[in-house]
Structures are given as structure tokens and as C-alpha cells.
Amino acid sequence: MTHDPLLIFLVAGEPSGDVLGGRLMAALQRATGDNVRFIGVGGPEMQKQGLQSLFPMAELSVMGIVEILPHARKLFARMRETAAAIDTAKPDAVVTIDAPAFAHGVAKRIKLQRISRIHYVAPQLWAWRPWRVYKFRRHFHHLLALLPFEPEWFARYDMDCRFVGHPVVESEVDQADGGRFREKHGIAPDKPTICVLPGSRRGEVARLAEPFIETLERLVERYPGLTAVVPTVPNVAGTVKEKFGDLPLHTVVIEDPNEKYSAMAACNVGLAASGTVTLELSMARVPYIVAYKLSTVTYWLASLLVRTPYANLINLTLNKEVVPECIQRECEPEILFEKICGLLDGAGAAQVEEMRPALEALGLGGPPPSERAAAAVLDIAGAMSVKG
């Protein structure tokens, strides 16, 4: 006996969500034997899986990185358009992926209340502005969480939240070839190499460049022959080259995303801005320190709102500082230098081993997060179709 294919409406608003959406679609196709159809909004990764986007996802990505007010009218129009398409299609489930502002704007405009609304990537309300949970509870029925402690937190507010795992454990870091990378870029096997990750936004790079560069200048005096490998992304590549292109040490700036993981695997230690990239270093078994600096006003406001003792996800997951965090006043060259020297001089191996339980808690070694997310979506959509 055959059944009509499930209809899943997907909404992604930025490149990282597009990657998650593409993986989710592929996992849903495998799980159902291709007995599933998709409509919605997505980028190139989701389009590879057969999605015909209602409009270019890039419109939403652009709106996320410029002043929003000049684009507010068009943004709200896209929210209404997406919600109307959902009401017309009457899908078995709607899955909005990250981009919480746009996702919430769409969800609250859906008129058919029986359509199950799932938000993939539970918002980090436990870290700051927790009162927003009531808004999410009004407009979403289910959350899919990347972090293992999130379901318990949301359960306090009577929200269904299911842990599916962090997408970084599904990345191809374990297939990286650090040896080949060194050979390609003229880095001798025995030379110390540091992976420098100053951020993916211009403001981050501008604030971190000076302390990072001064730290590298100190390190090369202590470790002659030191090489700095600097993976970057297109929107800040020019700034990174300008800032890090004239250092008194061998420097390799990497723009090709296909080389990023091999670049990490080639390194003995890392110096990284806070962000998901630090989990990639953890997956590559590279010991590292986290550094970050905000404007004085932003840091003051954040210190009033943020409710977590750690910035790094490894530390958050383990509830202790395994990865050194050098934030704001601690983000100074002399402090960064001493902590990196400690890792290079022997403490790095212990850090790598201590990070392993956190990666396992995030899903490493278990079913891929995309498969767990697909199973959750099918369970929710199936339950709703029975009710319908």
C-alpha cells in the first residue's frame, strides 16, 4: 500500500541554515524512500536537493547584515508572502531553520493553526533575554536543539524541544589531510604552526587584529620558524590580507572553503575568535584558546543580559573551562601569548582529550544530526497527519 508523499515546507534565511536544510532534506528523502516533497525558501544547498525557492534566499541574508530599516517593508512583505504560501499549500509540517527573526515573523502570520510549526536550531534564550521564550511558545509547536542541555531548559516553559546534535559533528573535518596541506604550502613537518581565526565579520577582524598580530610577533621570537595559517571567508578576506599579510613570519591566508579543515588539521595550536569555528578546531583535534573583544558599550550591555559563565560551546557543554577564554580585558597579547605557549609546551594534548566528551555529548559517534532531525520531523508530521 502506498501513501501520498509528505509535504514539508522549509524556510532558511542564511547560508548556515541552507546547509542544515540541505542535509535535512537529504535525510528525509533517505528515511522515506523519496516519499516526501518540499516547498519553501532556501539557497543553493537546498536547491541541490530539489527545492524551488519561492524567492532568492540571498534577499534575507543581505537584510541580516545591513541596517534593517530601509528594507523593513520588503522584509515584512516576504514574511506575509511565505506565510500565505504555507496556508495555501497546507503542508504536513513547516520547518523554519535558524534566522529566528524572519522565522518568527513567518510563523506568527500563518493562519491555519493546525499546521505543525517546527523551529530547527533552538534559540539560545538560556544565554540571554530568556523572556523571549513566551513569544516562541506562542508561535512554534516544536524546537530542534543543537545542544544537549537545551531540552531540559525549554521543558521548564512547557515547550517540546528535542536534541538532534550539532551539525559540526557531521562535517568532513575527520577527512582533512594536514600533511598534504603542509606539503602544498611549503610548511615543513616539524615546524610549529598556528591556526589564526580572527572572525567572519569586519568588526571582529578590526578589533582582534592588533592583539592577534602582537601575539604572533611574540610567538615567532620564542618559536623560530613558526607559520601562521589564516583561514578566512570572502566577506572579510580583503581585510584579513591587509592586516595579516605583512607579518614577520611565514603566513598562509586560505580563502578556499575546501581547504579550511585541512588547514586546521595541519596546525599545532589555534587562536580563534569565539564562534562555531572553535568546534571545528575541536573536531580537528587542535588545542586552542578563544579570544574576543567587543566595543565597551556592547560589552557592558552584554554583561547585563548574558546569563552564562562561558562563551565557548565546549566549556558550556562540560560546565567547566577546558578551553581558555580571553574575553575583553583578557584579550591582551601578553595573556594570549602565555596561554598559547602553555598549549605548545605540553598542555595541548590534555586539552584535546578533555574536549572529547563534549563532542560526544554534541552527537559525535552517534547518528548524524541530520538523520536525528529528520526522524523528529517525521515523528511530528506523522502525529499531526493522524490528528488531521
Cα–Cα distances (Å) from 87 to 54, 81, 112, in that order, read: 14, 10, 6
CA distance 21 to 322: 31
Are 178 and 158 within one domain? no
269-273 vs 250-254, strand pairing mode: unpaired
The CATH number linked to 180 is 3.40.50.2000
Tell me the C-alpha to C-alpha distance, in Å, between residue 254 and each of 263, 264, 295, 344: 8, 11, 28, 23
Residues 253, 356 share a domain: yes
Give dist(CA 179, CA 197) in Å, integer.
20
Instruction: Give residue for cell 582533512.
Output: 176
Instruction: Say whether both 111 and 179 belong to one domain.
Output: no
Rounded Cα gap, residues 144 and 162, in angstroms:
5
Domain count, the chain: 2
Considering the domain architecture, whether residues 59 and 183 belong to the same structural domain is answered as no
Do 144 and 240 lie in one domain? The reply is no
**239 found inside a domain:** yes
* 229 and 147 inside one domain: no
Model pLDDT for residues 280-339, shown as the tens digit of each residue = 999 999 999 999 887 666 656 666 666 678 889 999 999 999 999 999 889 999 999 999
Whether 55 and 5 have beta carbons less than 8 Å apart is answered as: no
Question: Is residue 353 in some structural domain?
Answer: yes
**Residue 76: what residue type?**
F
The answer to whether 17 and 96 are in contact (CB under 8 A) is no
| 96 & 16 share domain | yes
Phi, psi of 247 (to 5 degrees): -85, 155
Per-residue pLDDT reduced to its tens digit, 193-216: 999 999 988 888 999 999 999 999
Chain centroid to Cα 216, Å, comes to 27
In a domain, 277, yes or no: yes
* Residue 254 located in a structural domain: yes
Nearest to 290 by CA among 266, 306, 274, 313: 274
Looking at the structure, do residues 289 and 352 belong to the same domain, yes or no? yes
pLDDT digits (tens, 9 = 90+) for 23-54: 999 999 999 999 999 999 999 999 999 999 99
- Residue 287: which domain range? 173-361
Residues 152 and 201 in one domain: no
The residues, any chain, with a CB within 8 Å of residue 72's CB and separated by 6 or more, are none
Does residue 374 sit in the same domain as residue 357? no
Extract the C-alpha cell encoding 8. 514539508
Same domain, 149 and 202: no
- Determine, yes or no, domain membership for 1: no
Q: Is the pLDDT of residue 1 over 50?
A: no
pLDDT band of residue 387 (cuts 50, 70, 90) is very low
Co-location of 48 and 112 in the same domain:
yes
- Return the C-alpha cell found at 344: 605548545
pLDDT at 40: 98
Residue 113: what pLDDT? 86
- CB atoms under 10 Å from CB of 139, counted, come to 17
**Please, is 21 exposed, middle or buried when counting C-beta atoms within 10 Å of its C-beta (0-12, 13-18, 19+)?**
buried
The answer to the question of residue 42 being in a domain is yes
pLDDT(77) > 80: yes
Contacts 24+ apart (CB under 8 A), 159-166: 159/133, 161/122, 162/376, 163/372, 164/120, 164/363, 164/369, 164/372, 164/373, 164/376, 165/362, 165/363, 165/366, 165/367, 165/368, 165/369, 165/372, 166/279, 166/313, 166/362, 166/363, 166/369
Q: Where are the beta strands (DSSP E) in 307-359?
A: 325-327
Type of residue at 66:
V
147 lies in some domain: yes
> What are the tens digits of pLDDT across the range 231-268?
998 888 999 999 998 899 999 999 998 999 999 999 99
This prediction has a pTM of: 0.86
- Quickly state the pLDDT bin for 386 (edges 50, 70, 90): very low
